[in-house]
Copies of this chain bind each other. A is one copy, B any other.
Amino acid sequence: MIPESHADLVAWETKSFAHVATIGPGGQPHTSPVWFEWDGSHINFSLTKSRQKYRNLQRDRRVSFSIMDPEDPYRYIEVRGELVDIEEDPDIDFISRMAKKYIGRDRYPWHREGDERVVMKVKPTDISGMG
């Protein structure tokens, strides 16, 4: 689904951030950078249930990711999609895998007692690449 020409942008080794856009309660856009994983068919990222993005995605499952080549910002993809599943992450396995990818740590170092972590799984519906 990701075009061959831009597959490196979502590769594990590339460590690109995704800037994720969601829809707020009044229909306005929100956006912020997230760690993500491309599993071959979904973009997965972690949230705590207290985050605005989590509440936004409960209300409206449509999402867009903007992902740039860290070596060449004129190469990027936009991935639009829909949240298809939310998985609980009680043992912080997923976020720890992301910590491994992005900061080389075996366990996510910023977990706080009481944080309820979930994995947001987004199925792409539309992908466009530039550069």
Distance of A108 from chain B, by nearest CB (Å): 13
Assign chain A's interface to a size class: 20 to 34
Number of copies of this chain in the oligomer?
Answer: 2
Do A31 and B21 touch across chains, with their CB atoms under 8 A apart? yes
Point out residues on A near B: beta carbons under 8 Å. 17, 19-23, 27-33, 60, 62-66, 68, 73, 76, 78, 80, 130
Asked if B66 and A19 make an inter-chain contact with CB atoms under 8 angstroms apart, the answer reads: yes
A contact face: mostly helix, strand, loop, or mixed = strand
Is the pair B64, A31 in contact by a Cβ cutoff of 8 Å?
yes
The chain B residue sitting closest to A102, CB to CB, is B73
- Provide the residues of chain B in CB contact with A65, threshold 8 Å: 31
User: Could you write out 9 A-B pairs with CB less than 8 Å apart?
Assistant: A17-B68, A19-B66, A21-B29, A21-B30, A28-B62, A29-B29, A30-B78, A30-B80, A32-B130
